Structure 1
Amino acid sequence: MQRIISLIFVIFLFSCKKQETIVIKENKDPIEYESTNWQQDFGLTHSIDLDSVWGKPMRYYISNKNCDPIAKDFYLGVYRPKNEPKTARLLNLVTSENDSLRPFYRWILNKTILIQDGALGEYTGVPARKYAEKFPKEFFEYMDFDKSGKKYSDWYNSIAYSGFYDFENSNDTNKIKESLIKTMTKNCKNCNIDYQKRIVKFADDCFSNENSTK
């Protein structure tokens, strides 16, 4: 009888050990992502206390209960944007009404613009344009932070490439440009003449490539 009890106990331990191994493996899978080489130019340490976005540590965004899980995965290197609807949903977060998380979502869009290829470039233009339209003052403040002007160039080129696909007649550039100016002006509360001039210039820049080919 004692031998039977001992045998059952050994089987039980083996079963627990096997189950534990599976759990550990399952818990490791989300962490052992394919590679973070695609983030090599992001300047990340993947320490949520050392990395920061717009003056706040990454912990501020990651620990927010409303932070989108895909956005967290992007930062961790678990999810790399690619040609799929999931990427569109991730990048569209940039127009979130959540003021606390929007800088983080904007950072994601900006980094995606930096790594985009032909296929991925199809996804960045519309959210970049919609962000500029919805938050024009915030957009220009973000652009001004980069004194080199590269970020501004990257964004308007991205918009020029794929930012107007959602218009019914994407070939009517004059009407689209007018719509862009009108929408940004409407959402630019208490804007002075300087902002109005910048909006017009931004719209011109978004179509500058087309003008150069005419």
Structure 2
Amino acid sequence: MKNHLNLFAILVLSIFFLGCSQLAEKKKDKPVKQVNLASELNEHVSNSNSDSTSNPLSYHYLADKDLKKVARWIVSDSIEPADNKVTFSILNSISDSNKATRDYYFPAYLAIVKKSDGALAQIIGSYSLRYIKEYPVEFFERIKCDKGKECGDLLNVASSVQYEIEMGQNPIQEFAQLRRLINEKTSESDKDVKKKVKRFLGYIEIKKV
């Protein structure tokens, strides 16, 4: 009788362990769903409209709007200038061959110079230099300076020009050429213009390396 019980117990245990083994094998064979977070993120980014004219971070932000309207928004502080298409278009407009175009966008240009930072601040000097070299008398006539006070607009433009010159291969020589060009082209201007020329050149400090 005892032997029969032992055999029965062994049989039950064998069946139990066999069942556990088969269950483990099934769990092992069951495929595990893999979640690739990087892939999901890339898919999300690719689905976003990075070139949207309504996205403030896009290069084409507001590119579908009238440029004159955008310029007014910048002057009125409704939007901030950035290194995007509309801002560069406005900066290009101050050197336009059409004087009416230059007249219209000049206030927006001054606002951009004043508010620029980061990448925009690093390149705005090239636009300032081109405009001043082509239309120096016009530039100094347009700038308004209160007597006895620091001329903020003039200082802002001078700072942008200084940064641009310092990025060149020979800053000392380039500044000397700019000084000579401005003095020559404003030689017949009135005293007010000449005073602003002197202040402008005085704001620029190119140090020898």
TM-score range, shorter chain: 0.5 to 0.7
Superposition RMSD in Å: 3.6
On the 8 A contact 2:165/2:171 being kept in 1, the answer is: no
Amino acid across the alignment from 1:74: A
Q: Provide the residue aligned with 1:182 in structure 2.
A: 180
Which residue type is aligned with residue 97 of structure 2? Answer: E
Aligned-pair CA distance for 1:156: 0.6
Q: How far apart, in 2, do the equivalents of 1:151 and 1:102 lie? A: 17
Cα distance in 1 for partners of 2:182, 2:127 equals 14
Query: Which residue of structure 2 lines up, in the alignment, with residue 136 of structure 1?
Result: 136
2:137 is aligned with 1:127: no
The TM-score with structure 2 as length reference comes to 0.54
In structure 2, list runs of 5 or more residues that go unmatched.
1-52, 57-64
* 1:158 equivalent in structure 2: 160
Report how many residues are paired: 145
Deviation at 1:198, TM superposition (A): 5.5
- Deviation, 1:141, is 2.1
Q: How does 1:84-95 map to 2 (within 5 A)?
A: 84=84, 86-95=86-95
Structure 1 unaligned spans of 5+: 1-29, 36-67
Counterpart for residue 100 of structure 1: 100
Whole-angstrom CA distance in 2 between matches of 1:191 and 1:146: 19
What percent of counterpart residues are identical?
A: 19
CA 1:193–1:110: 2 relative to 1, 3 Å? closer
Where 2:201 maps in the other structure, the secondary structure is: helix
Pairing of 1:14-33 with structure 2 (within 5 A): none
Match of residue 67 from structure 2: 70
Residues 127-162 of structure 1 deviation map (CA, whole Å, 9 limit, x = unaligned): 222222222222222234454411111111121123
What TM-score, normalized to structure 1? 0.53
Are the aligned partners of 2:155 and 2:200 in contact in 1 as well (CA < 8 Å)? no
AA at the equivalent of 1:143: I
Aligned to 1:95, what secondary structure does the other structure show? coil
The 1-side partners of 2:142 and 2:114 are apart by: 16
**Partners of 1:125 and 1:159 within 8 A in 2:** yes
In 2, Cα distance between the equivalents of 1:193 and 1:75?
32
Shift in Å at residue 188 of structure 1? 3.0
* Larger Rg computed on CA atoms: 2
